[in-house]
Structure 1
Amino acid sequence: MAASLTGTCPTLDDGRRAVRFARTYDLPVERVWQFVTDAGELAHWFPSRAEIDPRPGGTITFGTDPDMPDSTGRVLGLDEPRHLSFEWGGDELRFDLEALDERRTRFTLTNVLQAADTAARNAAGWEVCLAALDAHARGERFEAPHAGPSALWKEFYDAYVEAGVPSGAPVPGLD
């Protein structure tokens, strides 16, 4: 059975490729904002430990991934509780939140890619990470690993490649 893909791979106005995902959570925007800014909340779903100095130009420290060296990024944009963007490993991550009403929030993650051939790999990884976030938002535990080579992303990767999403980049921990 083929994986059900939830991401898209748009070309942005400036010509860069991205992968984008949207979710709607039955939670107020302030709660969803915690999912993308609080280190304890990020630990439930983000693929690396991330500690954010939440101000434009602030530093983000990434670590604890056995297949990637610890690194830092920079906050590029912040409009609490609607937008956070930052650098990570040469890519740009954008989180946009829209309150649909007092109890529902549209969450959009856009991973602007430094290299187009990372699209299928990154999209597959975000599918698994966002499945962990979806479970966390429902108050459930996500039992499978959501990052690293043992994560259940290969089926998603193959489906993105079959859908024509650019691929071929090395996979940390496997290549």
Structure 2
Amino acid sequence: MDIGSISRTYDGRVALRFERSFPYPPEKVWSVLTDPRHLRDWFPAVVEVELTPGATLEFRCPQEQTRRSVLPEGHTSAGSVLTVRVGRVLEYLWDADVLHWELTPDGSGGCWLTLTHTTDDEEDALAHGAEWHAGFEVVEAQLAGRPVDWSCWDRAAELSTHYRRDSG
């Protein structure tokens, strides 16, 4: 099971990095990363991404996540779009975290998706790992046109043991 990798940035922050190969062109994968109809099934917050650098973002905690965490119902956090290269790169702040999405053609009509989630500490990165992993499973199903008949949140809970510091 590919659980991503963790490294330190030059300024001491923690970067959680996932790479996934998809047999679909970058433009198709891009739509799953930016279209609210797709995001609501796998992204850990309700957000509409405006593809304009400097745009303000509001992340709302979905009701299902509220039931599973210490976050109060209706919790929101803020962010802003840092970089947009349509079909290739999307980077934004979510509170103090940086999410950097990059799509690279693989030469065969598909692409590589890389997510680098930079946060302040390793425990926080590991906590996000299971959610991103489960989210990518939903993305794979969406791209393949398969129904998503499971809860991304339940799947993240199942995967969480793989994302604990002492599991490796």
Gaps of 5+ in 2: none
Q: Percent identity?
A: 28
Whether 1:123 aligns to 2:129 is: yes
Aligned to 1:170: none
Q: CA deviation at 1:145?
A: 1.4
Whether 1:109 aligns to 2:112 is: no
SS of equivalent residue, structure 1 residue 6: coil
Q: CA deviation at 1:117?
A: 2.0
> What is the distance in 2 between the residues matched to 1:7 and 1:141?
25
Q: CA deviation at 1:124?
A: 1.2
Q: CA deviation at 1:137?
A: 1.4
Among 141, 155, 159, the alignment partner of 1:152 is: 155
TM-score by length of 2: 0.84
For 2:147, give the aligned amino acid: R
Aligned to 2:77: 71
TM-score by length of 1: 0.81
Whether 1:7 aligns to 2:13 is: no
> What is the distance in 2 between the residues matched to 1:63 and 1:102?
37
C-alpha RMSD of the superposition: 1.8
Among 12, 18, 22, the alignment partner of 1:21 is: 18
> What is the distance in 1 between the residues matched to 2:167 and 2:8?
15
SS of equivalent residue, structure 2 residue 132: helix
Gaps of 5+ in 1: 165-175
Aligned to 2:32: 35
Which structure features the higher share of helix residues? 2
CA contact (8 A) 1:18 1:112 kept: yes
Number of aligned positions between the proteins:
158
Q: Deviations over 1:63-91 (max 9, x none)?
A: 25132412331001111221101111321
